[in-house]
Amino acid sequence: MNVTELHKMKEAGQKGLVVLIDPDKCGDGYLDELLTIAAVNKPTFFFVGGSLMTTQRLNETVQFLKKNTDVPVILFPGSGNQIDENADAILLLSLISGRNPELLIGEHVKAAPALKASGLGIWSTGYILVDGGAPTTASYISGSQPVPRNKPEIAAVTAMAAEMIGMQCIYLDAGSGAQNEVSPKMINSVSKSVDLPIIVGGGMKTRDQLEAAWNAGATLVVVGNAIEKEPALLESLSESGSQL
């Protein structure tokens, strides 16, 4: 799946809901319950991956999703070894809010041969960590300081630089388990500064939060922890988005 599909969504003013699945957190029966609900309340995409994976369930999770749903599966890798050619695409994340060279280009170099051979759609993504009110696995593992929540101008100029370099979308992420979501003010500031689709995740728990993010300029809003705790939440959240 090419990233042009995401650009078409933005151009058409469409908004999407993404369910983020961390293979480490897929307890017994979780995916079965989730897909039963998703059969009626389809998200736009499933993102699969995480900042730190301690199990070997990535491939198993991707294959289960591809076998049991027609919702596109996009890899959300925390490192260059989180690749599965059975997925539809991969977010090739560059941590542009940090200065860790491994997460700007190092992991990409290591993964390049496998990605080239995989046939996966490559979504070159400028990844911006935003302070969500609590330390996250992403900030700890990356050794980077998130953009302060009250400094939307930092996120905006960082996104501008990513667009000029040639990245294809921007991901604003408060991180897994964030206490506070990315503010609509920051989303709007970034949206007005670039012509790229904007993905927003971290701390999303309610319909009001999703609506606020979409209205501020997000094309995709990602929900992870909240649905892990309560898969049935997908039903109420999906009612507020326009799906593909």
**Does the residue 62 lie in any domain?**
yes
Q: What is the predicted pLDDT for the residue at 239?
A: 66
Q: Contact at 8 Å (CB) between 16 and 9? A: yes
Residue 243: pLDDT over 50: no
Residue 241: pLDDT over 50: no
203 annotated as a binding-site residue: yes
27 annotated as a binding-site residue: no
Domain harbouring 155, CATH code? 3.20.20.390
172 annotated as a binding-site residue: yes
**Does the residue 244 lie in any domain?**
no
Q: Which residue range(s) make up the domain with 42?
A: 4-238
**Does the residue 121 lie in any domain?**
yes
Q: What is the predicted pLDDT for the residue at 227?
A: 93
**Does the residue 243 lie in any domain?**
no
Q: What is the predicted pLDDT for the residue at 242?
A: 42
Question: What is the number of structural domains in the chain?
Answer: 1
- Over residues 43-70, the pLDDT tens digits come to 999 999 987 777 789 999 999 999 999 9
Q: How far apart are CA 120 and CA 195, in angstroms?
A: 24
**Does the residue 28 lie in any domain?**
yes
51 annotated as a binding-site residue: yes
- Over residues 131-150, the pLDDT tens digits come to 999 888 888 889 899 999 99
224 annotated as a binding-site residue: yes
The H or E element that residue 1 is part of is none
Q: E strands of the chain, at which residues? A: 16-21, 45-48, 73-75, 89-95, 121-129, 169-173, 198-201, 220-223
225 annotated as a binding-site residue: yes
pTM to 2 decimals?
Answer: 0.95
Six token digits for residue 164: 């000029």
193 annotated as a binding-site residue: no
